[in-house]
């Protein structure tokens, strides 16, 4: 069918050319020379259009699977494609950056090789850059060493705090023990005191009783030395 | 037929068809003439319309439409509404690179009455490129005509190796 169309087109173009030979409209109609180039161009056109139509036809015939699964797979494919695009963009930017840096260094190198007037400034700047970066590296090293020392000291302080806390706990426990002991002792002392008081009262009562018996019995105790000693002793300690 | 479909008809040999949809007739005429004046190797036929759907009486006479250009005038809110209403009558497979939005009148910033954001969103939603131009100036008109002509040739399949879809991907901003 394409060949027939092509033949028709060739015939039409020849007719057109004969018609437009004397009236020359500029740009409204293309006066095509029917030669190999024109045919080749038409062939390329037809090939491209055929490609498009076959793509559309392929896309148009759906595989009769269920829509949900197909949609899910399509969505997953879309997500994967998006992730790939992001990755490609990132790598592209990185490569551009690296490329630009290489270009810059090459330009600087060429400039320095080229003329010695401006390159003095370049050289000085580069030397300054090198010096400063060396200083930066040295300072960073020192900073790292100092940080290490600081962390060591902090660790030691932490350990000491821990030890101190333990010691305090020990002291606290010991204090509690001592208090308990003393209170125990005190309790004992109190009990003993109470007992002693009771005994004392008892003895006083018994002494008063003896006194009362002796005086009440109207015995002349001054004569008997034994009774006298008893009464005097009773007088003494009450 | 109420809906325009891209691949319903067979293409005519060595011919590309462009459809301009917009509310300003005079600008459409000027642009069409500028396109026709360009040097080209195939026949171009330009159809002008104010809105879709196209009348179905002359449908059998119409060739296959390769590229639809929606013209939006930035000074006229009605043109945007018109374009949005016409977009419903275009089949979805047209938007795979065969539709372009052309915003005219950008030379006069003071008379903008359409928001640029809405136009960008329109382009994003329909996955189509948005071109800005000022058709009153001769130079820009010629440049726009050249751009549209090149797009038309690609959409009609006259450029081997480049399809409308791949070209539209090239035109997308890489953000």
Best residue in B5, B9, B13 to probe A by mutation, most A CBs within 10 Å? B13
Label residue A28 by pLDDT band (50, 70, 90).
very low
Please tell me the predicted confidence (pLDDT) of residue A19. Answer: 55
Q: Structure pTM?
A: 0.55
Q: Which of B58-67, B132-141, B147-156 has the lowest mean pLDDT?
A: B58-67
More confident residue, A8 or A181: A181
Which residues 59-98 in chain B show a CB within 8 A of chain A? 93
Q: How many residues does chain B have?
A: 175
Structure token pair of residue A205: 């009562």
Label residue A30 by pLDDT band (50, 70, 90).
low
Check B13 against A9: CB less than 8 A apart.
yes
Label residue B20 by pLDDT band (50, 70, 90).
very high
Beta-carbon contacts of B130 under 8 Å, excluding residues fewer than 6 positions away, are B100, B101, B103, B119, B120, B122, B123
Please tell me the predicted confidence (pLDDT) of residue B76. Answer: 85
* Averaged pLDDT of chain A: 83
CB-nearest partner of A49 from B11, B38, B174: B11
Whether A82 has its CB under 8 Å from any CB of chain B: the answer is no
Q: What share of chain A is helix, strand, coil (3-state, %, to 5)?
A: 85, 0, 15
Q: Which CATH superfamily is domain B15-174 in?
A: P-loop containing nucleotide triphosphate hydrolases (3.40.50.300)
Please tell me the predicted confidence (pLDDT) of residue B164. Answer: 86
Please tell me the predicted confidence (pLDDT) of residue A15. Answer: 60
Best residue in A13, A14, A20, A30 to probe B by mutation, most B CBs within 10 Å? A30
* Nearest residue of chain A to residue B66 (CA atoms): A49
Please tell me the predicted confidence (pLDDT) of residue A195. Answer: 95
Q: Are A39 and A9 in contact (CB under 8 A)?
A: no
Q: How many CB atoms lie within 10 A of CB B100?
A: 23
Whether A49 has its CB under 8 Å from any CB of chain B: the answer is yes
**Gap from B78 CA to chain A (nearest CA, Å):** 33
**C-alpha separations of B110 from A104, B31, B74, B79, B114 in Å:** 43, 23, 10, 18, 11
* Residues B50-92 pLDDT 10s: 888 877 777 778 888 999 999 998 888 899 999 999 998 888 8
Report angle CA A189, A194, A197 to the nearest 5 degrees: 125
- Arithmetic mean of pLDDT, A53-76: 79
Give the C-alpha separation, B171 to A88, whole Å.
Answer: 18
Task: Identify the H or E element spanning A167.
Answer: helix A118-216
CB-nearest partner of A27 from B11, B37, B160: B37
Please tell me the predicted confidence (pLDDT) of residue A26. Answer: 46
Which residues 104-133 in chain B show a CB within 8 A of chain A? none
Whether B157 has its CB under 8 Å from any CB of chain A: the answer is yes
A-chain CB neighbours of B42 within 8 Å are 30, 45
A-chain CB neighbours of B41 within 8 Å are 30, 41
**C-alpha separations of A159 from A146, A154, A170 in Å:** 20, 9, 17
B-chain CB neighbours of A86 within 8 Å are none
DSSP string, B51-70: SSSPPSTTTTTS----EEEE
More confident residue, A7 or A74: A74
Residue B128's nearest CA partner among B76, B158, B167 is B167
B-chain CB neighbours of A48 within 8 Å are 157-161, 163
Please tell me the predicted confidence (pLDDT) of residue A22. Answer: 42
């Amino acid at each position: 069918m394409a060949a027939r169309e092509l033949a028709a087109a060739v015939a039409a173009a020849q007719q057109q050319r004969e018609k437009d030979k004397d009236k020359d409209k500029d740009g409204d109609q293309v006066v095509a020379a029917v030669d190999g180039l024109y045919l080749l161009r038409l062939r390329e056109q037809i090939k491209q259009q055929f490609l498009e139509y076959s793509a559309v036809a392929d896309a148009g015939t759906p595989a009769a699977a269920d829509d949900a699964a197909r949609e899910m797979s399509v969505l997953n494919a879309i997500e994967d494609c998006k992730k790939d695009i992001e990755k490609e963009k990132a790598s592209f930017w990185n490569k551009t950056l690296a490329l630009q840096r290489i270009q810059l260094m090459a330009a600087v190198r060429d400039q320095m090789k080229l003329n010695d007037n401006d390159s003095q400034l370049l050289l000085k700047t580069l030397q300054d850059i090198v010096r400063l970066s060396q200083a930066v590296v040295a300072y960073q090293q020192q900073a790292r060493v100092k940080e290490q020392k600081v962390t060591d000291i902090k660790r030691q302080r932490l350990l000491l705090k821990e030890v101190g806390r333990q010691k305090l706990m020990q002291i606290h426990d010991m204090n509690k023990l001592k208090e308990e002991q003393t209170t125990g002792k005190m309790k004992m002392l109190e009990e003993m005191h109470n007992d002693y008081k009771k005994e004392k009262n008892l003895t006083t009562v018994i002494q008063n009783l003896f006194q009362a018996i002796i005086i009440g019995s109207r015995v002349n105790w001054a004569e008997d030395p034994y009774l006298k000693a008893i009464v005097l002793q009773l007088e003494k300690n009450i | 037929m109420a809906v325009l479909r891209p691949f319903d008809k067979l293409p005519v040999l060595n011919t590309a068809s462009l459809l301009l949809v917009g509310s300003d007739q005079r600008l459409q005429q000027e642009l069409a003439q500028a396109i026709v004046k360009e040097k080209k190797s195939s026949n171009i036929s330009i159809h002008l319309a104010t809105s879709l759907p196209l009348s179905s009486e002359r449908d059998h006479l119409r060739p296959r439409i390769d590229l639809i250009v929606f013209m939006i005038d930035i000074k006229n809110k009605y043109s945007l509404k018109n374009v949005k209403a016409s977009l419903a009558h275009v089949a979805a497979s047209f938007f795979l690179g065969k539709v372009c939005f052309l915003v005219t009148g950008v030379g006069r910033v003071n008379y903008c009455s359409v928001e640029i954001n809405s136009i960008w969103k329109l382009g994003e939603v329909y996955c189509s490129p948005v071109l800005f131009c000022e058709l009153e100036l001769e130079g820009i008109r010629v440049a726009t005509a050249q751009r549209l002509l090149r797009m038309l040739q690609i959409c009609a399949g006259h450029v081997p190796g480049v399809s409308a879809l791949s070209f539209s991907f090239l035109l997308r901003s890489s953000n």
